[in-house]
């Protein structure tokens, strides 16, 4: 197994096609163009084995207001492990690499987790945000109640300054979080 981190601009068209195909499979076909777009423009962690791409995750730049501060936030996207190698530690290897990027380049890490994915993130110290979650829509702040309880932050000491404060994410097309 080899792990490589690379910016989107350093990935070849064939690598991007492999990542998109694996994500499409991992998310049971629920990966639209906007979802794919959200995965691009940041740093990727790619694990390869003798069969090819085995695991992937990306961290992209977002802006999040917490209290009176806008924080440079590393938002985790597209974490997936190929079906035949799940539960072998590859998700942890991907997250090790992405958390390293977040530690070196961002004030905060954030992500939106599925119930299954939440187990991995919680085991690594990520915590569900206990306060309200909003996005700054074109029409102003918009509460995202469906994202409350599934929006995770890391490292917790930075985010725990006021755990009931509103997290206000920048806007993007498609699924905001």
In the chain, the domains with their CATH numbers are 2-169 (3.40.630.30)
Residues forming a β-bridge with 62: 73
> In the chain, what percentage of residues exceed pLDDT 70?
96
C-alpha span between 40 and 7 (Å, rounded): 9
Alpha carbon distance 170, 54 (integer Å): 31
The beta-carbon contacts of 115-122 under 8 Å, at least 24 apart in sequence, are 117/79, 118/150, 118/152, 120/79, 120/91, 120/92, 120/95, 121/95, 121/152, 121/154, 122/152
* pLDDT mean over 131-158: 91
Q: Give dist(CA 174, CA 80) in Å, integer.
A: 20
- 36-94 pLDDT tens trace: 999 999 999 999 999 999 999 999 999 999 888 899 999 999 999 999 999 999 999 99
Q: Tell me the C-alpha distance between 27 and 99, whole Å.
A: 22
Largest CA distance in the chain: 49
């Amino acid at each position: 197994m080899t792990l490589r981190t690379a910016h989107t601009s350093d990935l070849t068209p064939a690598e991007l096609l492999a990542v998109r195909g694996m994500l499409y499979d991992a998310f049971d076909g629920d990966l639209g163009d906007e979802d794919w777009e959200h995965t691009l423009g940041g740093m990727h962690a790619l694990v390869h084995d003798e069969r090819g791409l085995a695991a992937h995750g990306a961290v992209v730049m977002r802006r999040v207001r917490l209290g009176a501060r806008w924080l440079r936030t590393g938002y985790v996207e597209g974490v997936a492990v190929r079906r035949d190698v799940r539960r072998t530690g590859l998700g942890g290897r991907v997250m090790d690499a992405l958390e390293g990027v977040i530690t070196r380049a961002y004030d905060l890490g954030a992500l939106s987790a599925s119930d299954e994915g939440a187990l991995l993130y919680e085991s690594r110290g990520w915590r569900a945000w206990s306060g309200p979650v909003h996005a700054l829509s074109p029409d102003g702040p918009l509460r995202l109640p469906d994202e409350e309880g599934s929006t995770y932050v890391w490292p917790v000491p930075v985010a725990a300054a006021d755990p009931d404060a509103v997290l206000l994410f920048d806007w993007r097309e498609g699924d905001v979080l």
